[in-house]
Amino acid sequence: MPGAGVAFGPVTWAPPKSSDAPLTAWVRDVPDWPAPGVIFRDLTPLWADGSAWARAVRALAAPFDGSPPEMVMGIEARGFLVASALAARWNAGLLLARKAGKLPGIAHREEYELEYGKACLETHSDLATAGKRVLIADDVIATGGTARAALDLARAIGCTTIGMAFLVELSFLGGREKLGGAFPIRSVITYDGTGAAAVNE
Ligand code: AMP
């Protein structure tokens, strides 16, 4: 029985009947959240289903399994979940790209533009020796500003980015173009803005 929880928006979602359903079936669309006009792609149903999540991790990792990175950088907060699963798969180290003021010790900072105002990401500059091969991971790439800041952070601490991986890409926002073409960018589910989704699995 539902408790006296807080509800946001008319969210309807039901688990798929078959575990073979396309991975999009585990993405819950939340209309007009956190702002009017935005469809928030909520991945908590995917994380809540062990076999769907395992499929998503395999799909995310596939292009890099042959030559995996030495470290995976996860972007706070949901990117930590993605990065952690990939790092464990490859026996790679984990680097955190955190929001401002969260990391004690020696951290490097990159500022970036949001739709309104600025934000910044920080990472420890003493945990990755120069030249480490790093893959950067997040749950969603939208405008690409956050991913770009993480890429600049990795470069600033001397790492070489060999790839980036996202569970979801909103391709109509052009984020990929902000990242240059120097390495493969993997997205498992791509929404093109018409409501259609392509799945790489
Ligand atoms: P951006 O910097 O615009 O690429 O935004 C990427 C960050 O915002 C990611 O860390 C996502 O977690 C989050 N994000 C942006 N848009 C969405 C969306 N429509 N659904 C879910 N998360 C989003």
Q: 122, 98 in Cβ contact below 8 A?
A: yes
Mean pLDDT of 162-188: 97
* Residue 121 belongs to some domain of the structure: yes
Residue 34 preceded by cis peptide, ω within 30: yes
| Ligand 1 pocket check for 176: Cβ under 6 Å | no
- The verdict on residue 12 lying in a domain is no
The CA 41 to ligand 1 mean position distance, Å, reads: 9
Residues 53-85 have pLDDT tens digits of 999 999 999 999 999 999 999 999 999 999 999
Give me the half-sphere count of Cα atoms (radius 13 Å) on the Cβ side of residue 14.
3
Gap from CA of 140 to ligand 1 centroid (Å): 5
Residue 124 located in a structural domain? yes
pTM of the predicted structure, to 2 decimals: 0.95
Nearest to 56 by CA among 124, 140, 134: 140
In this structure, is residue 16 part of a structural domain?
no
Q: How many domains does the chain have?
A: 1
pLDDT band per the 50, 70, 90 thresholds, residue 3: low
Q: What is the CATH number of the domain that holds 42?
A: 3.40.50.2020
Q: Is the pLDDT of residue 138 over 90?
A: yes
Task: Report yes or no on 81 lying in a domain.
Answer: yes
Domain residue limits at 64: 31-199
pLDDT value of position 1: 45
Phi, psi of 96 (to 5 degrees): -105, 130
Atom of ligand 1 minimally distant from the CA of 138: 10
Q: Does residue 160 lie within any of the structural domains?
A: yes
> What mean pLDDT is reported for the chain?
93
- Asked if residue 35 is part of any domain, the answer here is yes
The pair of structure tokens assigned to 96 is 């955190």
Task: For a ligand 1 pocket test, name from 28, 140, 191 the mutation site with the most ligand atoms within 8 angstroms of its C-beta.
Answer: 140
Taking the C-alpha atoms of residue 111 and residue 99, their distance in angstroms, rounded to an integer, is: 10
Q: Which two tokens stand for residue 59?
A: 């799909």
